[in-house]
Amino acid sequence: MDALDDALRARIDELAGSNKGRQPILSTTGTQVAIAELIARNDRLERLVGELSLEIEALAESQRGDTQRMSRLRRTAR
């Protein structure tokens, strides 16, 4: 399970980027610039959530498949 957690964390970092292209929103930031930055962040987050949900579904499906395969192997081994 730790490997799965590590894999998901690495994927989140990869998709979210490590502050690449992000502008800090300061009290001196103009309104239009701040809004544009917030829109860009929101777009990145929406993409990230969508991609992660697909990957989590695929991982869950593969684990269900592994569990089913193991159950079949146990039954045939008896």
The pLDDT score that the predictor gives to residue 6 is: 81
pLDDT tens digits, residue range 24-74?
Answer: 788 888 999 999 989 988 998 898 889 888 888 888 888 787 766 666 666
> What's the Rg (C-alpha) of the chain?
20
pLDDT in tens, 5-17: 787 788 777 777 6
18: its two tokens: 């490590």
* pTM of model > 0.75: no
Cα(20)–Cα(34) distance, rounded to whole angstroms?
Answer: 16
Residue 52, pLDDT score: 85
